Amino acid sequence: KMAINKHNILWISFCCDLVILDLFTKWLADTYLNQPVEVLGRFLVLQVSKNPGSAVSIPLPNLMMIFGTPLLIAAATWYIVKSCDLKSVYTKLALVLFVAGGLGNLINRIWEGAVTDFIDFSFFPSFNLADAYLTIAAFILLAFHGRIAGKDYGESK
């Protein structure tokens, strides 16, 4: 079990900071990106797009996303807590990134009715910081699975 102590309060604070950063960058994009800004030519463009669907714009009703997202966050969090070593910094980082990404997009969806994407690489669907958090969390879980899996390597304890 994960005890609430000073060390874990820092991780919770870091999670809150990441959510705030995500929402702040979405607000900045909505407020100031009235037209596309080429950062690295057409390779990287900052431009606002609204995603009413799920990941990579799969069309799902907004109400389904508002109720389904917390369930997915809870299920994935439960899996990580049950199958990974909670003392590992990799597990804690993946958990914080996953929760922050899910909450950032959920809050944005509730406020706006859609998720604000604004980072557009020419070869990849448009995304935001919350999406990046989720992607990095998944990468950490996959790349460091051997280091963070429980003694039974992924089966429930």
Active site positions, annotated: 117, 131
Give DSSP secondary structure letters for the chain: -----HHHHHHHHHHHHHHHHHHHHHHHHHHH-SS-EESBTBSEEEEEEEE-SSGGG----HHHHHHHHHHHHHHHHHHHHHHB-TTSHHHHHHHHHHHHHHHHHHHHHHHHSSEEEEEEETTS--B-HHHHHHHHHHHHHHHTHHHHB-TTTTS--
- Separation in Å, CA 58 to CA 39, 51, 105: 27, 9, 15
Distance of alpha carbon 113 from alpha carbon 20, whole angstroms:
18
